[in-house]
Amino acid sequence: MAQPPELTAAVRRFAALPTVLVATDFDGALAPLVTDPLRSRPVEGGMETLAAIADLPGTTVALVSGRALAPLRELSGATEPLLLVGSHGVEDSRRPDGLALDDEQRDLLATLDADLRAVVERHPGTRVEDKPAGRVLHTRGLDPEVGAAALESAHALGERHTSLVVTPGKEVVELAVAHVGKGVALVDLAQELGVDGVFYAGDDLTDEQGFAALADDPDQDRAARRLTVRVGDGETGAQFRVPDEPSLVEVLRALLDARRKHRPAG
């Protein structure tokens, strides 16, 4: 599918920047959404293209996901020099010591386990995903009314335990005892790397936080040079939209080709 001329031009402008961060969500951006999160796999060419982009001078590539770091690494197949930012920014592949929780957070996590077991018992077919700093209730594949009732029960837990951070998504809700957020993680990473511009693509509500944070980056010059892409439908604050995961891969390939021309090897 041919890209809109405006997107093609934006990719070329971005590719010409001296230093860039190229980041993307995993589920719904590189990998189609599936009922069982552990069966998720990236579409053809996606990870290979990201790896090739990461090999270019002045270029850092990162997967920024709500998934915990270990399954993100396993399912994506990502290897260095790709960076992995998991659990909505709580985990970072550059921090091998993992996540440190205090006793209060650990106790709350244990309470949350018990509360979510009760939710699953009341709403058969729902599933709970364990993460180092939280739990995620999944309802994908259920009757919409059943799923909505289960998600409402999960939100009620967030109201009961006010220190939990509640992050809704597509047929999921995450309850975390520690939280950073994709937006904060992206801006912090861009600032740490000192890049001239940031590319970010995603499909979900949490990715909208990323788009907004990049637009509001305190470095106004870097904000003006951002390139954000929404994958799929839904309201968005991204600058551009593509219909599906293979279309995003085409954008990444165009970015790779354009940056190779502007940043020759060596």
pLDDT given for residue 265 in this prediction: 45
pTM of this prediction exceeds 0.85: no
Q: 37, 72 in Cβ contact below 8 A?
A: no
- Taken as a whole, the chain contains a residue count of 266
Name 62's Cβ contacts closer than 8 Å, sequence gap at least 6. Answer: 21, 22, 23, 24, 82, 83, 84, 85, 189
In one-letter notation, the amino acid at residue 158 is G
The class (CATH top level) of 5-97+180-262 is: alpha beta
Run means of pLDDT, 10 residues per run, the chain, 266 residues: 87 97 96 83 95 97 92 93 90 74 88 95 93 90 92 94 90 87 92 97 94 97 98 96 97 97 60
Structure tokens at 152: 């409402």
Architecture of domain 103-176: 2-Layer Sandwich (3.30)
Domain ranges of the chain: 5-97+180-262, 103-176
Q: 14, 189 in Cβ contact below 8 A?
A: no
pLDDT given for residue 35 in this prediction: 79
